[in-house]
Structure 1
Amino acid sequence: MVNQAERVLSGPALWSAQAHMPSVLGRQIVIERAQGSYLYTANGQRLFDGTAGLWHANVGHSHPELAQAAFLQMQTLETYHIFGRYLNDKAVQLGEVLADISPIADPKVILNSGGSDAIDVACKLARRHWQAEGRTSKTLILSRDFAYHGLHAFGTSIAGLQFNRDGYGTESLVPETARISTHDIAAVEATIAEIGADKIAALVAEPVQGTGGVNPPAPGYLEGLQRLCRENDILLIADEVITGFGRTGDMFATERYKLEPDLITFAKGVTSGYAPLGGVLVSPCIWERFYRSGDDTPIFRHGATYAGHATACAVALRHLELLEEEKLLPRVKELEIVLTDGLRQLERLPGVADTRVAGLLGGISLAEDISAERVTDALVDEGFVTRPLRGNTIQISPPFITTDDELRDLLGAIEIALSNQDGKL
């Protein structure tokens, strides 16, 4: 019999992300292929993808049109960088398309490789903006309790999930950060007053918190954040890495909640995860200073080797067409009704503490005596993938192509799994 130490030493070379390695070794599920809303493991199991991967597989898996877009682009130009005088045509085309659908009027578009990159760039740009304005004390970045903004240095530093911030020898990798209340706008106002608006560069907020437990905004909260930012000269950064490109039923959640942010970060849904791509939409109040003619015009030193990657941009362009051709945003609004009705039924169960919905984002918070991790493990055995989140919450965020019956089957499987837990942790 293999003991724990031998199992650790004989495990795969790949170091899993966000994993307590001794707990997952020997239990890892290897996904070998996927089609539509379904995953197929190396041992032949078929699994309904109730999380769309990490919130991203919006058009489903293995879409032939996106595979063809990548294939054709690689035959022409795999990529070329966009530093200095150089551009590639697909990055230029994507920039124009994104500017056209942006909730921010007349934006500039910064492209990079993903959500964590986008947050890093947006926070740096916010600080760079105030330095260029001569308001050099405005360096601090606010973010919400329970927020998740990726795991680069800035994302780690502004995380509202303490376990992502711990263990690095300092309270924050980037010191000028602070957290605000997730739902209480009066408490946010008090925090700003305590810190001093003259020290605050920006406030970063997910319109709907994802990893923090699928938390839609309290009524009036986002409007209150926007008001406080305007009154105190604080840039508002909307983190739409999860919600962007249809997840809430509108192209951007800032449209659903009628926000007017200064910067919007995006990633996952721009390609449905078919290629790593992210970026930032930048309002004129920020970008104009960097575009004016003159020897004293500042440079914003952003950029990465794969920023504006031509193949990723080609995939994004075709993907955005598919959202329209397959009428997937209206479909999200239809599925929101099904999800809302199903979660109301689950709320009747004694093991369910609360449920939350925003578009095709759902969260089921369980009673303290039932483990969300145990429930999600049980669901895998029944052919469904979900994920445990903060707050003992089960994540529901399937692809936009999900049928009504598939969504009901997932919720039915959750009900059965809950009934089988019998109050066991």
Structure 2
Amino acid sequence: MNASLAMKDQRSLFHAVTSIADNASAGPFVLTKGKGSIVTDEHGRDYIDMGAGLWCVNIGYGRSEVADAIADATRSLNFQHLFGGAASVPAIELADRLLTLFRTRANAPEMARVFFGSSGSDANDTAYKLVLYYHNLIGKPLKKKVISRQGAYHGLTYAAGSLTGIDAYHKAFDMPAPGVLHVEAPHYYRGARPGESEADFSARLVADLRATIEREGPDTIAAFWAEPVMGTGGVIPPPTGYFEGVQKLLAEHEILFVADEVITGFGRTGSWFGTGHYGLKPDIVNLAKGITSAYLPLSATIISNRIWDVLEHTSATAGAFMHGFTYSGHPVCCAAALAVLDIMEREDIVAPVAAKGERLLAGLRSRLKDHPFVGDIRGVGLMAGVEYMADPAAKRDFAGMAGHKIVAGHARTEGILTRALPWMPVTAFSPPLIISDAELDEALDRYVAAAERAIPALEAMASA
């Protein structure tokens, strides 16, 4: 009865993506409240949340309008499924609104229908099943392989986890699944050859993708998966010409393009959607995180007319679409999303994101330019990453790629939350989109102090 929160946690809670040994020795980091861009721990200490949770609390913490919408929806109709043609008003209204937003804000008039889930992982699983289903319906049952990228993050359910291109998530789980292939990540800083321009680097990666397709057989490749900006893999914006070349190649071989906008959707890049930001023309788009600003779990898979027309025209013979979840289109979650979209549009939250991102990126670059272990600083919108190396000139990593974790630890001590990423030695920034310039500047001060405090430990690691 008198056990501390830490003791209760250690004897009861099974944490996601956590070292069991580390949690047993160090205990949990417990947060108790949040407001705007600030979160507070169990001891009353405040932190600037430069991760927006996990890339998701876009409109900030503690918005009473969203809480009121959730309460009203719970009192009105706390649950309704979408099976057998059943629906609720919030699910219908949200689907219609998402299509309108995507068609107008992402220049994607070809998008046709919305399928709801609860997470980015299940959205990618839904898309995976749709890809297989579509090719079966059009009489191409051999088109079953899918291509993703090294360093990609698409979730951690079995199909989504297989699409994810980070070995740590596969270890001991028998992943990736057969038929999931991974090609090189478009990381110009690490991957470019001496003297190679971004355009030439992109052309080489497209040529490598072509070689993979030809080796496997174009008639066996069903789809290509990509985040408009790779997030968990290292905050990697696409180099010049990359998506233009990829999309041309996919069209040549009638390979579907799935855009994973779980992170980039709803303003993160400085545009409403990464699809519009980079001129993409996907067949399927997956959304989550910012759709409710993480106030409740919800995801959406948007499919194009290319796929919907086949599903619609074969329905009488193929039978019911036998896929779904109990909580697909949950009315309370959809009501939360509608409230979030109201706030985003009313307050024009997306418009200032590009300028805020430029302020953050310029500050990081100017103040860390002489740091002996910073290799690259990059970003787009309110997504930024600082990449650490034992020897930036030689692009030599720290053993175990642990240097960035030391910096992230010091950052928390300084009162700023930034994430040490799992595939590349990068600390990532993705603050709430509503963060103020003053908060950005304060976060920058704290982060620079943390990076400087880490230098002695990094020097010892670099020489070990």
TM range (shorter): over 0.9
CA shift, 1:337, in A, is: 1.6
Q: Distance in 1 between matches of 2:414 and 2:364?
A: 19
Which amino acid letter does the alignment assign opposite residue 446 of structure 2? Answer: A
Contact 2:51 2:432 in 1 (8 A): yes
Q: Name the structure with the higher helix share.
A: 2
CA shift, 1:8, in A, is: 9.5
Q: Distance in 1 between matches of 2:438 and 2:445?
A: 10
Q: What residue number does 1:280 align with?
A: 301
**Alignment pair present for 1:137 and 2:159:** no
Q: 1:321 aligns with which of 323, 339, 342?
A: 342
Which amino acid letter does the alignment assign opposite residue 410 of structure 1? Answer: A
Q: 2:113 aligns with which of 108, 116, 125?
A: 108
Contact 1:113 1:306 in 2 (8 A): yes
Contact 1:95 1:109 in 2 (8 A): yes
Q: Distance in 2 between matches of 1:259 and 1:95?
A: 21
Contact 1:290 1:299 in 2 (8 A): no
1:22-421 mapped onto 2 (5 Å cutoff) = 22-25=21-24, 26-102=26-102, 103=106, 104-105=108-109, 106-168=111-173, 170-172=174-176, 174-183=177-186, 184-292=205-313, 295-345=316-366, 346-368=368-390, 369=398, 371-389=403-421, 390-421=423-454
Unaligned runs of 5+ in 1: 1-6
CA shift, 1:242, in A, is: 0.3
Q: SS at the partner of 1:73?
A: helix
Q: SS at the partner of 1:292?
A: helix
Task: Show CA shifts across 1:192-244 (max 9, x none).
Answer: 11111111111110000010010111111111111111011100000000000
Contact 2:410 2:454 in 1 (8 A): no
Q: Kindly tell me: are residues 10 and 55 of structure 1, through their superposed partners in 2, closer, same or farther at Cα, counting changes over 3 Å?
A: closer
CA shift, 1:359, in A, is: 0.8
Q: SS at the partner of 1:142?
A: strand
CA shift, 1:41, in A, is: 0.7
Contact 1:347 1:353 in 2 (8 A): no
Segments ≥4 residues shifted beyond 4 Å: 7-10
Aligned residues: 417
Q: Kindly tell me: are residues 9 and 322 of structure 1, through their superposed partners in 2, closer, same or farther at Cα, counting changes over 3 Å?
A: closer
CA shift, 1:256, in A, is: 0.5
Q: What residue number does 1:3 align with?
A: none
Q: Kindly tell me: are residues 294 and 275 of structure 1, through their superposed partners in 2, closer, same or farther at Cα, counting changes over 3 Å?
A: closer
Task: Show CA shifts across 1:239-296 (max 9, x none).
Answer: 0000001100111101000011000000001000001000111001101122237631
Unaligned runs of 5+ in 2: 1-5, 187-204, 391-397
Q: Kindly tell me: are residues 294 and 178 of structure 1, through their superposed partners in 2, closer, same or farther at Cα, counting changes over 3 Å?
A: closer
Q: Kindly tell me: are residues 359 and 231 of structure 1, through their superposed partners in 2, closer, same or farther at Cα, counting changes over 3 Å?
A: same
Contact 2:122 2:157 in 1 (8 A): yes
Q: Distance in 2 between matches of 1:342 and 1:317?
A: 35
Contact 1:48 1:385 in 2 (8 A): yes
TM-score for the superposition, normalised by structure 1: 0.95
Q: SS at the partner of 2:81?
A: coil
CA shift, 1:182, in A, is: 1.4
Q: Distance in 1 between matches of 2:83 and 2:9?
A: 44
Q: Distance in 1 between matches of 2:280 and 2:349?
A: 23
Q: SS at the partner of 1:356?
A: strand
Task: Show CA shifts across 1:301-358 (max 9, x none).
Answer: 2210000000000010111111111111012112012022112212332221101111
Q: Distance in 2 between matches of 1:235 and 1:303?
A: 22
RMSD (Å), alpha carbons: 1.7
Contact 1:351 1:418 in 2 (8 A): no
Contact 2:374 2:388 in 1 (8 A): yes
Q: What residue number does 2:192 align with?
A: none
Q: Distance in 2 between matches of 1:392 and 1:166?
A: 19
Q: Distance in 1 between matches of 2:214 and 2:166?
A: 23
Q: Distance in 1 between matches of 2:147 and 2:117?
A: 23
Q: What residue number does 2:198 align with?
A: none
TM-score for the superposition, normalised by structure 2: 0.87
Contact 1:117 1:279 in 2 (8 A): no
CA shift, 1:27, in A, is: 3.4
CA shift, 1:189, in A, is: 1.5
Q: Distance in 2 between matches of 1:10 and 1:36?
A: 27
